[in-house]
Amino acid sequence: MLPAFSSPTSLLGLQLKLAIGENWRPTGYVGASWLNVAISFTNYTITIAKATAQMNTDGEFLSLTPTFNSYLASPVVVYNAPLVIPANAFQADGGLTGVHSFTTLATFSTPFVIDPGDSLVVQVRHTGYGVAGTPLNAFFATAPFSNGAVDAISATSGANAAVPNAFSSPYIFNFVIPEPAALSLLAPALPLLGRRRKA
């Protein structure tokens, strides 16, 4: 569930942050930010939906058997376009042990309106990246798996995968909303940024 709010709210974008302290840093990577070079996705699609009635009853993903779409009620594609993440986009500004700042990954072309009390499912599909000089993959802030709480499921089998093949720790991210605040959410992102191919 999202934090409580009293009226319908538009979700305008998605933000991520690096894992706490030095936990984000890939082996051999030097620097106080990630990435060291820009990376490009030919296509990056973010879909937000309300959780299905069954998911609300169960409180989580229970199986790898259903299709991805079986978890989505009234889905809205909020971003569907190429995506470039510039060099040094994510700052490790929390120091050796602190929490780092959020950085906007994508600004939605179509806002998603969430009503008080809604539970959400976020689906991310992308074509992957792979170019000369591509940096090692950093680790973003995540939460451990917890029964009856938020999960993440993913697929690594290719761009046309319809069913998940793995459970993963969900990302912690912010939704950008109209001022003066932003909503934080443990993200059941599908699949994980930079570590999975299009589901």
- Residue 182 in any domain: the answer is yes
The Cα 177–Cα 187 span in angstroms is: 16
Helix (H) or strand (E) holding 7: none
User: Using the 8-state DSSP alphabet, how is residue 54 labeled?
Assistant: H
List CB contacts of 98: < 8 A, sequence separation 6 or more: 20, 21
The Cα 87–Cα 95 span in angstroms is: 19
- Residue 4 in any domain: the answer is no
Mean pLDDT across 137-145: 82
Kindly report the number of other CB atoms within 10 A of residue 152's CB atom: 24
Name the least confident of 23-32, 104-113, 182-191.
182-191
pLDDT, tens digit (0-9, with 9 covering 90-100), for 106-138: 999 999 999 888 888 899 998 888 666 667 788
Helix (H) or strand (E) holding 58: helix 53-58
pLDDT at 2 over 70: no
pLDDT band at 149 (very low <50, low <70, confident <90, very high): low
pLDDT at 198 over 50: no
- Residue 2 in any domain: the answer is no
Name the least confident of 12-26, 44-58, 81-95, 139-153.
139-153
Q: What is the residue range of 176's domain?
A: 9-187
Q: Check residue 28 and give its pLDDT.
A: 86
- Residue 105 in any domain: the answer is yes
- Residue 199 in any domain: the answer is no
- Residue 192 in any domain: the answer is no
Three-state secondary-structure class, residue 124: strand
- Residue 1 in any domain: the answer is no
- Residue 83 in any domain: the answer is yes
Q: Check residue 96 and give its pLDDT.
A: 93
Number of domains in the chain: 1
- Are 89 and 103 in contact, with CB atoms under 8 Å apart? yes
pLDDT, tens digit (0-9, with 9 covering 90-100), for 30-80: 889 998 888 889 999 999 999 888 887 877 777 788 888 888 899 999 999
pTM, two decimals, is 0.85
Q: Check residue 59 and give its pLDDT.
A: 74
Kindly report the number of other CB atoms within 10 A of residue 61's CB atom: 19
